[in-house]
Amino acid sequence: MTKTRVEDLDWNNLGFEYHDLPYSWTEEFKDGQWQGGHLTTESTLTLNEAAEVLHYGQEVFEGLKAYRTKDGQVNLFRPDQNAKRMVNSAKRMMMEPYPEEKFLEAVKAVVKANQEFVPPYGSGGTLYLRPFMVGTQPVVGVVPSNTYTFRVYATPVGAYVKGLNPVPFTVSKYDRAAYAGTGQAKTAGNYAGSLLPEMEAKKAGFADCLFLDPREHKYVDEFSGANFFGVTKDGQFVTPKSESILPSVTKRSLLQVAAELGLNPVEKQLEVDHLDDLAEAGAMGTAAVISPVGSLTYKGKKQVFYSETETGPVTTKLYNYLTGVQNGDVEDKFGWVVPV
Ligand code: PLP
Ligand code: COI
């Protein structure tokens, strides 16, 4: 694959796609210790045919972004939270956790090394960072790997869902993760399992599907790549409390923003049959940012939230606050922004 050159990129029309940038970060774990991380120009991995990850899916990953501010500086948003979550995901998948301080060093080094690829302020683009780790030991029996590769690649991206436009969703008949399964871990298998439900939703004319709790199919869980939120008719920010969803950094941040905006936020079980109490609904995540749910179809019945074409006022307020902090335009009261 040829390396992407800056001059090949159209900043205002970036997709959510992979570009092969000059530098990644890599580190091996073997003989019971991390061997030292460093930048690399290598963007391929060489694996043994029996490597753990290829057969038993021992993999964890993260997603975070670097943002260009008006004065040209580059910021990360709460990278410490991604570092922590990756440790938790690794523990669930019986992998060697990558130390949090090394994670931060790696992410910063990759941003600095590729800094000309951080899209300009105002373009709507960001530099997406994808730290991940795979079990590399050749194994046949199902046992944890004793060797790992940690890698961080970067790619400039536009919006996952373009603009702040409401899109239609449907409730999936499939589960994303099992009850007491791996739903809280950011691990490859959860995403492989969501491909068929997503494809079926798209074929039926929806942007994506929403998963219910796997035990009772009664409560809202989340999307395949984002958490769910709603705004009740009396102005409360609500988001599902569930053991089978990914603990989203954006969700945790918006809970604080919502409190700041007087929205009395709460995490609680949300019955899919009682969403008519919601005036607005949305998806939230690093890639998704905030993406309004225009409608939700469940058992053949379509519920429209604020509007199928326009974004509700509270969703807009939350979006402006969050992206404002990330882009350096709104005061960072919470100490979330980390300059690179
Ligand atoms: N839920 C799932 C399944 C995800 O893949 C993501 C994306 O990382 C999120 C939620 C949102 O998490 P965050 O806000 O930390 O990006
Ligand atoms: C992210 O938001 O960073 C994710 O990892 C979600 C993924 C589906 C793109």
pLDDT in tens, 190-225: 999 999 999 999 999 999 999 999 999 999 999 999
Average pLDDT, the chain: 97
Question: Which residue reads 């105002």 in tokens?
Answer: 122
First to last CA, the chain: 28
State the pLDDT at residue 164: 82
Average pLDDT (3-30) is: 95
Does ligand 2 come within 6 angstroms of the Cβ of 285?
Answer: yes
Q: Is the pLDDT of residue 227 over 80?
A: yes
The ligand minimizing its distance to the Cα of 222 is 1
Which residue in 338, 317, 267, 254 sits closest to 79, CA to CA?
338
Q: Which of 186, 203, 268, 317 is catalytic?
A: 186
Distance from Cα 286 to the centre of ligand 2, integer Å: 6
The ligand minimizing its distance to the Cα of 16 is 2
Distance from Cα 32 to the centre of ligand 1, integer Å: 31
Annotated catalytic, 186?
A: yes
Judging by DSSP bridges, how do beta strands 289-298 and 167-171 pair with one another? parallel
* pTM (predicted TM-score): 0.97
Look at residue 317 and give its three-state secondary structure: helix
Of the pLDDT bands very low, low, confident and very high (cuts 50, 70, 90), residue 270 is: very high
pLDDT tens figures, 298-333: 999 999 999 999 999 999 999 999 999 999 999 999
Q: Is the pLDDT of residue 1 over 80?
A: no
State the pLDDT at residue 162: 67
Distance from Cα 94 to the centre of ligand 1, integer Å: 21
State the pLDDT at residue 338: 98
Average pLDDT (175-181) is: 97
Distance from Cα 246 to the centre of ligand 1, integer Å: 6
Q: Is the pLDDT of residue 282 over 90?
A: yes
Does ligand 2 come within 6 angstroms of the Cβ of 131?
Answer: no
Phi, psi angles (nearest 5°) of residue 206: -100, 160
Q: Is the pLDDT of residue 115 over 80?
A: yes
Average pLDDT (93-119) is: 98
Judging by DSSP bridges, how do beta strands 237-240 and 266-268 pair with one another? parallel
Q: Fill in the amino acid letter for 80.
A: D
Q: What residues have CB less than 8 Å from 256, skipping those under 6 apart?
A: 334
Does ligand 2 come within 6 angstroms of the Cβ of 194?
Answer: no
State the pLDDT at residue 160: 77
Q: Whose CA is nearest to atom 6 of ligand 2?
A: 225
- DSSP code of 138? B
Q: Is the pLDDT of residue 277 over 80?
A: yes
Is the ipTM value over 0.85, yes or no?
Answer: yes
Half-sphere exposure of 27 (CA within 13 A, CB side): 21
Which residue would you say has higher pLDDT here, 2 or 120? 120
Q: Is the pLDDT of residue 292 over 90?
A: yes
* Ligand 1 atom, smallest distance to 176 CA: 3
